[in-house]
Amino acid sequence: EIVMTQSPATLSVSPGERATLSCGASQRVSTNLAWYQQKPGQAPRVLIYGASARATGVPARFSGSGSGTEFTLTISSLQSEDFAVYYCQQYNEWPGTFGQGTKVEIK
C-alpha cells in the first residue's frame, strides 16, 4: 500500500495570505494525485486531479503541482471559506490511499 504523508498537520494563515500544503508518496505515483477539501460536517470535495487540473467550479486561487513522489497544493490568497482540512489521495495503485490531512486555520 502506498503511504501518503502530508505536512504540516496544521497551517495557521491570515486571510489574504498564501498557503502551501505538501504531500509525499512512499512510491512514485506519476501525476495520479488528487486534492480534496473537507469542511466540518461535510463530505470531501475534489479540488485538483491529475496533480494539477482544477475540478469543475474550483476557483483559480487553488493550484496543484508535482509528480512522482512530491506534490504541492497552493492557495494563492486565502478566503474565509478556504479554512478547512485538505487531503491528498493517490490513485496510481489500488487501493487509493489518502494522506492524514492538513488543517488550514485562521491565524
Partner 1 sequence: QVQLQESGPGLVKPSQTLSLTCIVSGGSISSGGYYWNWLRQPAGKGLELIGRIYTSGSFNYNPSYNPSLKSRVTISLDTSKNQFSLKVRSVTAADTAMYYCASSSALANWFDSWGQGTLVTVSS
- Of 46, 52, 61, 72, the one binding partner 1 by CB under 8 A: 46
Amino acid at 54: R
Query: Which residues, other chains included, contact 55 with Cβ-Cβ below 8 Å and sequence gap of 6+?
Result: 46, 47, 48, 49
**Joined grid coordinates for residue 95:** 487501493
Scanning 21-29, 46-54, 64-72, 74-82 for contacts with partner 1 by CB under 8 A, the matching segment is 46-54
Peptide bond into 95 cis (omega under 30): yes
Q: Which of 36, 62, 71, 86 binds partner 1 (CB under 8 A)?
A: 36
Residues that contact partner 1, how many (by CB under 8 A): 23
Q: How far is the CB of 100 from partner 1 (least distance, A)?
A: 5
Q: Are 72 and 22 in contact (CB under 8 A)?
A: yes
What are the residues binding partner 1 (CB under 8 A)? 1, 32, 34, 36, 42-46, 49-50, 55, 87, 89, 91, 94-101
